Amino acid sequence: MGDARRPEDGRSTARSEWETGTLEGALGKSAERPVAFTTVSDLPIERLYTSDDLGPGWNEREKLGYPGEFPYTRGIHPTMYRGRLWTMRQFAGFGSAEDTNARFHYLLEHGQTGLSTAFDLPTLMGRDSDDSLARGEVGREGVAIDTLADMEILFRGIPLDRVSTSMTINAPAAVIFCMYLAVAEKQGVPFAQLEGTLQNDILKEYIAQKEWIYPPRPSMRIITDLMAFCACSVPKWNTISISGYHIREAGSTAVQELAFTLADGIAYVEAGIKAGLKVDDFAPRLSYFFNSHNDFFEEIAKMRAARRIWAHVMRERFGAVNPRSLMLRFHTQTAGCSLTAQQPLNNVARVTVQALAAVLGGTQSLHTDSFDEALALPTETAVTVALRTQQVLAEESGVTNTIDPLAGSYFVEALTDKIEREALTYIARIDDMGGMIEAIERGFPQKEIADASYHYQRQVDAGEKTIVGVNKYAIGDERKTDTLKIGDEVEQAQLARLAGVKARRDEARLRRGLAALAAAAARGDNVIPFMLECVRDYGTVQELSQALVPVFGTYREVSVL
């Protein structure tokens, strides 16, 4: 870097000479390809990056630090994947609890190291299988859970002290978590030994995924109750997985995903502090969940920027001192929305690129999508290829040999800085509105995402963004791909089981428990112990959820087009 600098702009003289000499000569002979050089999120990318692009104040110590040290840009662990590989965690759930239990056993036998549960839509919305709105949706997109009886089957033969379980559930997260606790009780496993993650990120539901029960503010109250309960009784449990994944799937840009997700994280920390918790008591149990899309470097830069922003926010804004509060740990899933129904095997290549970005971005765990997921829930063959993709990256590609191998790349560092700056601008706008809950009530993130999603679709339709096999290199008649079918018998069987449980349980005892739960909510007591009691008595997800509606109300979205 001993280059001479031009006094007018501080840029290196050698670079200017290259631009006016070698480059201009080459461009004079043949122009660059007539395409926009932009990321999938439409960030412009320069022809070349040099030390000039890092700016005069760029300081390695301050921007990167060392692995396991503030600001954690290079990773949260001092040894990263040389110490321990990321957790390969494939999301699974379909049909009945028996079906999903069998898939869990299959995945564990094939080398998967953690479980991840997908629930069906009625469960995600806090509805029982026998509710009229659940018609046609029971067990379709995930496993149907109505009562503890289903949960007992779901984890049959799986010792809860020896696996870590991730549960993707939000609006009724506390109820499902109580069911997991009750299964642990029956297995004789102390709560303190339980490891896993509850998604429990209600804010991104209002922003993107749209599965809610109560309005934002009472929903936040249940979350802070859960954080308090876990800090005391289930200390190894990750209480919220603050999720950008769904924000991105809803059509946001990479910067929006990062900014809105971190703003959600800030809102949870503020809520915890407001509820009287000490930041270092609950912040170490917050984790993140990001999407990994097709644009390789944009994703890596996003993940590196995420760690740096969070470390600063936690230290400077919230005064956290425990290093674990400052470290942004995250799960990644490859981008479902990037998968194509056309020529589905091409998705194996997309998933590989996205998974590699997540690994180079320093993820703690990873789900790789199956190539047939734009058509239906994945078949066993497709799930196996997805898991093998991770194993090839981990054990054949060599990318795990050294920590944060892209650090110091002029391009990656400049892009990391740019994404950080743009995300901070969004976060400042949200702060100006009074925080994320106010921003959601105004429809701000919803509108930003809808605009970005529409803009991208127009670019695809115009051929400005390429989707291989869809708007370029398409073929007419394609061979059919075998897909997984979920029959109606799942719904019928689930309805029969639910009716059986309802007939056998102690109804009077449950009614007393539900009344006590509502009373606790109205008094402002922590609702979790009351929920646990109702769950033990085989109360349903819907009964518990509805018991709180008189106190908390329900949410209706004002649609933003």
Partner 1 sequence: MAGAIEGHVGEERRLRLLVGKVGLDGHDRGAKIIARALRDAGFEVIYTGLHQTPEMVVATAIQEDVDAVSLSILSGAHNYLFPRVLQLLQEKGAGDIAVFGGGIIPDEDIASLKQSGVKELFTPGATTESVVAWVRANIRPRPLD
121 binds partner 1 (CB under 8 A): yes
85 binds partner 1 (CB under 8 A): no
Structure tokens at 446: 């919803």
The H-assigned helical ranges of 434-486 are: 436-441, 444-461
For partner 1 (CB under 8 A), the number of binding residues is 43
374 binds partner 1 (CB under 8 A): yes
Structure tokens at 185: 């009780």
492 binds partner 1 (CB under 8 A): no
Q: Which is nearer to partner 1, 1 or 561 (CB)?
A: 561
Q: Which is nearer to partner 1, 125 or 271 (CB)?
A: 125
Residue-wise DSSP of 206-219:
IIII---SS-HHHH
Residue 90: strand, helix, or coil: coil
Contact residue for partner 1 among 102, 394, 424, 450 (CB under 8 A): 450
Contact residue for partner 1 among 128, 211, 413, 533 (CB under 8 A): 211
> Which of positions 239-268 make contact with partner 1 (CB under 8 A)?
249-251
375 binds partner 1 (CB under 8 A): yes
Residue-wise DSSP of 418-434:
HHHHHHHHHHHHHHHHT
CB of 492 to partner 1, least distance (A): 13
561 binds partner 1 (CB under 8 A): yes
Contact residue for partner 1 among 460, 468, 501, 551 (CB under 8 A): 460
How many CA atoms are closer than 13 Å to the CA of 44, on its beta-carbon side?
A: 2
Helices (H) and strands (E) in the chain, counts: 24, 10
Q: Which is nearer to partner 1, 334 or 364 (CB)?
A: 334
CB of 105 to partner 1, least distance (A): 24
CA distances from 98 to 50, 105, 145, 462 (A): 56, 11, 11, 46
Pick the stretch among 129-137, 310-318, 433-441, 545-553 that binds partner 1 (CB under 8 A): 129-137
Contact residue for partner 1 among 274, 458, 472, 504 (CB under 8 A): 458
Contact residue for partner 1 among 19, 141, 270, 441 (CB under 8 A): 141
Q: CA-CA distance, 34 to 271, in Å (whole number)?
A: 50
Q: How far is CA 78 from the centre of its chain?
A: 24
424 binds partner 1 (CB under 8 A): no
376 binds partner 1 (CB under 8 A): yes
- On whether the CB atoms of residues 198 and 173 are closer than 8 A, the answer is yes
Position 4: which residue type?
A
Pick the stretch among 84-92, 121-129, 177-185, 312-320 that binds partner 1 (CB under 8 A): 121-129
Contact residue for partner 1 among 400, 453, 459, 466 (CB under 8 A): 453
Pick the stretch among 7-15, 118-126, 430-438, 535-543 that binds partner 1 (CB under 8 A): 118-126
The residue among 309, 297, 327 whose CA lies nearest residue 414 is 297
Contact residue for partner 1 among 64, 125, 144, 220 (CB under 8 A): 125
Q: What share of the chain is helix, strand, coil (3-state, %, to 5)?
A: 50, 10, 40
CB of 346 to partner 1, least distance (A): 12
557 binds partner 1 (CB under 8 A): yes
User: What DSSP state is assigned to residue 189?
Assistant: -
Residue 114: strand, helix, or coil: coil
Give me the 465-484 binding string for partner 1, x by CB under 8 A, dash otherwise: --x--xx--------x--x-
Residue 262: strand, helix, or coil: helix
Q: CA-CA distance, 282 to 276, in Å (whole number)?
A: 11
Pick the stretch among 104-112, 116-124, 195-203, 213-221 that binds partner 1 (CB under 8 A): 116-124
CB neighbourhood size of 335 (10 A): 21
Say if residue 523 is exposed, middle or buried (CB neighbours under 10 Å; 0-12, 13-18, 19+): exposed
**Binding residues vs partner 1 (CB under 8 A):** 121-122, 124-125, 127, 132-137, 140-141, 205, 209-211, 249-251, 337, 340-342, 374-376, 450, 453-454, 457-458, 460-461, 467, 470-471, 480, 483, 486, 557, 559, 561
